[in-house]
Amino acid sequence: MTTTINTPHKLIKNGIEIGDWVIHTSKNPILKSTEKEEWEKELVLNGLPEMVYGNNFIRLSNEKRDITIVFNCMDALKMLDKVADQSIKVSSSKKWEEINKGFEGQIEKSFEWTFSSPYTGTILTRGHCYSNFEKPIGLFENTTEKIDIEKLKRPDPILFFDDVLLYEDELADNGSSMLSVKIRVNNESVFLLSRFFLRVDDVICRCLDTRIYHEFGKDYLLKEVTFKESSFDIIKPYSENDPTLLTDSNFIVSKLPIKSLTTEKILLSYNDNK
């Protein structure tokens, strides 16, 4: 028999206050051309995605524990210069050369023109801002514990849900690159899914999923990062009977092999003895 926990909560504009947490989302129009130019200068990039939702974000704040978790576009695009990715160029040199011609040689790094960001969120605590590779001692802990998928499947009443797009690009009609974040809150927990999805037609498919799960009352959040990737050939056979599957990101992701999977705890006790 399942016991339902009723966590005190209150809906607010574009969010919810529940337990010690304030969860807030922001959804706005894409950046104007002048704003994109300013971003390009600040980020020192050769170009930005066609659609940049620079004022969109999802934020989870716990003032009592002095921690805020944010997913936003600026921090995601900042990560583009953190990794060198030659996989797409190697995967299919002819296709690469054809596509790259469309950019007139301006973009040399494949991770830039596909906007493949390794971003897994931003954490603000103790007056510092941490993302991805920055892991202060005591804030994170490796774990074998997994997110309870069965609990997520239960038809519990949803108190708050939102789906926020951070950026999107059609890669000069050669595919799709998109970063989006979803959040779902019920009486017992909050679940967030950040997904970067890439499809370069006839070349490659890629997905980076970041899941954050917290059961209210527990002293930690679970963070699970899954990276999937494969050549486009793995998807092609499925399209023989239904061509629309080639553009169905959820279907494609379900067929991609897992390349890496890491799970860790974000410890709320990090600030208890500061």
Task: Give kind and range of the element (H or E) at residue 217.
Answer: none
pLDDT for the residue numbered 133: 72
Structural domain count of the chain: 1
Asked, for residue 107, whether it belongs to a domain, the answer is yes
pLDDT for the residue numbered 94: 57
Identify which of 212, 152, 147, 224 has the alpha carbon closest to the alpha carbon of residue 186: 152
Look up residue 198 and give its amino acid.
L
Asked, for residue 2, whether it belongs to a domain, the answer is no
pTM check: above 0.85: yes
Distances from the Cα of 233 to the Cαs of 119, 148, 170, 189, 246, in angstroms?
26, 32, 20, 39, 11
Asked, for residue 26, whether it belongs to a domain, the answer is yes
For the stretch 201-243, pLDDT in tens is 888 999 999 999 999 999 999 999 999 999 988 888 888 888 8
Give every CB contact of residue 26 below 8 A, 6+ residues apart in sequence: 14, 55, 56, 57, 164
Asked, for residue 221, whether it belongs to a domain, the answer is yes
The DSSP output letter for 3 is P
Identify which of 59, 77, 50 has the alpha carbon closest to the alpha carbon of residue 21: 59
Asked, for residue 4, whether it belongs to a domain, the answer is no
For the stretch 35-79, pLDDT in tens is 999 999 999 887 899 999 999 999 999 999 999 999 999 999 999
Asked, for residue 3, whether it belongs to a domain, the answer is no
Asked, for residue 39, whether it belongs to a domain, the answer is yes
* Structural contact between residues 207 and 195, judged by C-beta atoms closer than 8 angstroms: yes
Report phi then psi at 87, rounded to 5.
-60, -40
For the stretch 135-189, pLDDT in tens is 888 999 999 999 999 999 999 999 999 999 999 999 888 899 999 999 999 999 9
Domain limits for position 214 = 9-271
Asked, for residue 36, whether it belongs to a domain, the answer is yes
